[in-house]
Amino acid sequence: MKHVTIGLLVSVAYMACAACSASESNDTTPEAIASAFCEKANSCVPVAVELIYGDVAACKSRQALSLGSSVAAANNPDVGGCAAAIRAMSCDEYRNTTGRPAACRFTGTAPNGKACGTDYQCSSGFCSFTGSCGVCADPPKAGDACAGYRCGPGLKCVIGTGERCVLPGKAGASCKTDSECEETLSCASDVCAARVGAGAACGSGKPDCQLGYYCGSAGVCTVLKFAALGETCGLVGSDYLFCKGGYCKSGGTGGSGTCAAYTADGQACSDTAGSCQEPASCVEGVCKLRDPAACK
């Protein structure tokens, strides 16, 4: 499969409601956070919304399913302040923090070692997951091992020989992988460099493509192309077609498949199929939403 620069596409930490907006009157509800997040995502990385949800309304509708229980677990969260902080972010700030400003890092009352199902339950603000549940713990610092590929605020998990947390490098910093650079940069010839756009050379030793493009077979950045449900997806000729608001179900020849609707929550799934829609995941063969209250 062609390398795709998705970055923070599925790192959606905030949920929303299709019937809500990020207006001042709604800023006291958890849905205001989700609405602000999805609208900012659509402004800064529209390909993320199109790829994962299909449109903004679906983004809000899906994320609303788990927002309430997560925010409810926090200790006096400043919901309005969080929503306002998301709306005030620049796109670079949004990408480099995965849309999670400091005002949205809610905490709970559970001490380290206590079972948790969301960061918001923990007094440390960090739940170290080992599946659907985890235990409250101090967030990994720079140089520490990642906890389930996650790190403390402002850090990234470098995946390679032993995952570790690092402060992402700015332009010109030395690197070995993209994960060592800020989200808006990529690692090219061991240096963090700006991502490149349509038609620019990409591949080994060269900068990665900007969000919304992938490095095509000709070695140049190519705009992502989408297929509708029921249409052929995957490798088609020299192009790679992605599904809009669905997943590519394998079964075709030469790396191709067919765009299929996401598996409904509560229905059977396969860990390898990617058929569950965010924020659900395939747990014990069933698409499930995370329920923090179930972690005891």
- Can you give the residue ranges of every domain in the chain? 1-105
How does residue 253 score in pLDDT terms, banded at 50, 70 and 90? low
- Is the pLDDT higher at 189 or at 61? 189
Give the pLDDT of residue 39.
Answer: 94
pTM attached to this predicted model:
0.82
Structural element, H or E, at residue 72: helix 56-72
| Mean pLDDT, the chain, integer | 85
Residue count (the chain): 296
Is the pLDDT score of 295 beyond 70? yes
Is the pLDDT score of 8 beyond 60? no
- 157 vs 155: CA distance, rounded Å: 7
Q: What is the mean pLDDT of residues 18-23?
A: 31
Is the pLDDT score of 73 beyond 90? no
Is the pLDDT score of 289 beyond 60? yes
Q: pLDDT exceeding 90 applies to what percent of the chain?
A: 48
**For residue 136, what are the contacts with CB-CB under 8 A and spacing of at least 6?**
110, 111, 112, 113, 114, 115, 116, 121, 122, 123, 124, 126, 127, 128
